[in-house]
Amino acid sequence: MSTNKIDWSVPQRLSPVALIFILGKIIKDSWPLVLIVVGRIIINEQNDEKRNTSIGIYFILGITLLILFIHLNQLINFFLFRIQIKGTELVVTGGLLSKSKTIVPLNRVQSVHLIENYLHKLTNTCTIKIETAGSDATEIEVKAINKEKALSLQSLLQNSVTEISQKNIPEQVQIMGIQFADVIKLAISENHVRTFLIIIAFAYSRLEDIKQLIGFDASDIIDQQVDNASFSLSGLLTLLLIGLIITLWVSFIRVMLRYHEMKITANNKGFQMEWVFLQTQQKMLIQNKVQLISWNFNFVRKVLGISILRFFMMGENLTQTKQHIQLPVMDQHLLYQLISPYQAVLPSSNTQSYSTHISYGWRNTLLFVLPIILVISTAIYFWNPWYILFLLLLLIYLAISNWVKYQKFKYWFNETTIQIQKGVWGVENILLNFNKIQHVMVKTSPFLRRKKLATVELHTAGETIVIPYISIEQAQYLVDLSLVNVEFH
């Protein structure tokens, strides 16, 4: 079946393969009852009496019927599930006694995500997830739909047509592909400190699980062994080496999960991403849903020429990382190619740069960090004065971080766009078209008013951009510029 011959005005059903996924979910949700059944089977095998065997069969049948009855709605929904397009709306219906009907306007679709595991590949099906603006979770998720239908629906939603027609679908052109060598570079340049903290958090949570399972605190045993151990310099170096290897390995796995064999294709409507590791996933990016763009790199990635490009979408939940669209860009030419549909000319290329007031570099340290450190140091002094050294190092680190943040913060703007550069140990660039702004706030304080400064907040449907400690005149100019663009574009 060709994807351009699917008539979405006719309700489409799930693939029969969906029954397998439903049964798998039923078993997963009912594992205590399944465990009882398995235990009963084992007991019956050890009992030769016919009477007990008959009772066991009835018992197993009873438990099976109970499981099916509990999940009867899921089984019924398989037969009654329908998905179609009526006019300019995507309509999903299902259920018998408890009927459901989900209606999504086509122009509200933010992204379409296709997932294909091994079972999907064997049966030519896939899972399709449809996310909309203003929703924190996936709006529509279809576990097993024919792959050709899924691709057809993805193309249709990407084009946001008002008639059910698959004509003139723009040709897809591949513009980027991630090779294994690129994965190695990304793993090497990953934030290993963050990875190490993730490992520590995971290990701690597992210790808590062990404590609940066996009834005693495993961390006490570890502490006792550490106290009894005598570490030499070589032993410490060995531990550090093992920790480094584990961290690098976990970083490599995380990068593989996100970027392995990723490729990006483009058309005049947006981009489509596909990556393969254990399962094939596809995600669609509709260009007119992009609110702002950012790209960042740390020192290692700067040396390797790598940037991580992020698209902030309309209605995106910033806490739901699965909704985030991040692309590893391996060269600057490709970076500008991906940015150009949003903004062809970067303000930093032809306009003057501006900085924040110098007080932005020291005021937070003086008013917040230093008093807190002093209070904690006073309390620690009566416990163990030597620990104050750690607080002193923390104070120095935070003071330097705040000053570096001030030094790196710059911004450029023209009549339509503002570009911001910021960061501490890395660099992040943010690109925002003024016509994407929903509202603007100007904040002041007694200190800022005395210095004739203000902080500007630019609120979009995807993120809030803060420009701190700039002159009040320029703050007002940015506000006026934003309002003009919103009004006339």
pLDDT in tens, 302-339: 888 899 999 887 756 555 566 677 888 888 888 888 88
For the packed helices 233-259 and 180-188, what is the interaxial angle rounded to 10 degrees? 130
The per-residue pLDDT for 214 is 52
Helix, strand, or coil (residue 275): strand
pLDDT (tens digit, 9 = 90+) per residue, 350-382?
Answer: 899 999 999 999 999 999 999 999 988 888 888
Looking at the structure of the chain, the number of domains it has is 2
86: left (phi over 0), alpha (psi -120 to 50) or beta: beta
Output phi, psi for 5, to 5 deg: -110, 5
Span 390-418, average pLDDT: 93
Q: Is residue 50 very low, low, confident or very high in pLDDT (cuts 50, 70, 90)?
A: very low
Residue 412 lies in a domain: no
Residue 467 lies in a domain: no
Span 64-87, average pLDDT: 74
The beta strands (E) that lie in 367-452 are given as: 410-413, 417-422, 427-433, 437-443
Q: Which of 165-169, 193-197, 227-231, 400-404 has the lowest mean pLDDT?
A: 165-169
- Paired strand residues for 427: 297
Span 464-470, average pLDDT: 93
Q: Which of 381, 406, 431 is the last residue of a domain?
A: 406
Residue 160 lies in a domain: no
- What whole-number distance in Å separates Cα of residue 357 and Cα of residue 442? 16
Over pLDDT 90: what percentage of the chain?
21
| Contacts for 403 with CB less than 8 Å, ≥ 6 apart | 361, 362, 365
Q: Is residue 190 very low, low, confident or very high in pLDDT (cuts 50, 70, 90)?
A: confident
Q: Which of 11-15, 236-240, 471-475 has the lowest mean pLDDT?
A: 236-240
- What whole-number distance in Å separates Cα of residue 482 and Cα of residue 24? 52
The per-residue pLDDT for 166 is 40
The b/e string for 193-209 (b: 16+ C-beta within 10 A; e otherwise) is eebbeebeeeeeeeeee
Residue 392 lies in a domain: yes
Residue 245 lies in a domain: yes
The per-residue pLDDT for 256 is 83
pLDDT (tens digit, 9 = 90+) per residue, 144-162?
Answer: 888 888 888 887 776 653 3
The per-residue pLDDT for 397 is 93
**Terminal CA-to-CA distance of the chain, rounded, Å?**
42
| Contacts for 378 with CB less than 8 Å, ≥ 6 apart | none
The per-residue pLDDT for 164 is 38
Structure token digits, residue 78: 């398989």
Residue 395 lies in a domain: yes
Distances in Å between the Cα of 18 and the Cα atoms of 23, 83, 128, 152 are 9, 14, 12, 19
Average pLDDT, the chain: 78
Structure token digits, residue 146: 């024919």
The per-residue pLDDT for 232 is 61
Residue 398 lies in a domain: yes
- Paired strand residues for 94: 100
**Is it the case that residue 252 has pLDDT exceeding 70?**
yes
Span 176-195, average pLDDT: 84
- Residue where the block lists tokens 């570099």: 361
Residues, the chain: 489
**Is it the case that residue 70 has pLDDT exceeding 80?**
no
Residue 237 lies in a domain: yes
**Is it the case that residue 123 has pLDDT exceeding 70?**
yes
102: left (phi over 0), alpha (psi -120 to 50) or beta: beta
Beta carbons of 40 and 59 less than 8 angstroms apart: yes
Over pLDDT 70: what percentage of the chain?
74
- Residue where the block lists tokens 């047509």: 161
The per-residue pLDDT for 261 is 78
| Contacts for 452 with CB less than 8 Å, ≥ 6 apart | 471, 472
Give residue 238's domain range: 182-224+233-259
Q: Is residue 169 very low, low, confident or very high in pLDDT (cuts 50, 70, 90)?
A: very low
Angle at 332 between CA 347 and CA 278, to 5 degrees: 125
- What whole-number distance in Å separates Cα of residue 431 and Cα of residue 343? 8
